[in-house]
Structure 1
Amino acid sequence: MVRLIEVKRRGKTVWAEVAPEACPAGHRGELVPTYGGCPTAECGLPTRYWRCRADGCGDVAIDDEHVHRSGGGTSR
């Protein structure tokens, strides 16, 4: 789920996405946002996540409100 917060930039109110600042490995400014099936093999539920594009990393930061489904498959 995309969550937006109200922030002030140059005296104007704008909306910014609540997103992680770094991947689990600590790379800052390298995250690419996407939405799709949870990259955790056991889950697969739709979620918002960010994939790190730093060389050799590929770590994924998953939305902190996402609840993994256990057992896989397509039913709850």
Structure 2
Amino acid sequence: MVRLIPVERGGKIVWAEDAPDTCPDGHKRLVPTTAGCPECGEPIRQWPCREPGCTAPVQYDDEHVHHSRK
């Protein structure tokens, strides 16, 4: 489950997704998406890197619990 955390933006407190800032190669072009877990098929939050030529693995929600839909 992706957590929402309170952060201050423009003098106001807003809720932001607790997401990674960079891919494993250090790029900051992550795009949040939701797709099926490669292991169990359940919908899962993931952050693929969109830096051209980046071969870093997609980052997945680290609190995901696998359920068998396959």
Aligned-residue Cα RMSD (Å) equals: 2.1
* Unmatched segments (≥5 aa) in structure 2: none
The structure in which a higher percent of residues are strand is 1
Secondary structure (helix, strand or coil) at the match of 2:31 reads: strand
Q: 2:48 aligns with which of 51, 55, 59?
A: 51
The amino acid that maps onto 2:13 is: T
Misfit runs of 4+, over 6 Å: none
1:1-76 correspondence runs (5 A)? 1-27=1-27, 29-38=28-37, 40=38, 42-58=39-55, 59-68=57-66, 74-75=69-70
Sequence identity (%): 61
Number of aligned residue pairs: 69
Q: Which has the larger radius of gyration?
A: 1
Q: Is the 8 A contact 2:2 2:63 kept in 1?
A: no
The amino acid that maps onto 1:15 is: W
* Unmatched segments (≥5 aa) in structure 1: none
TM-score normalised according to structure 2 size: 0.77
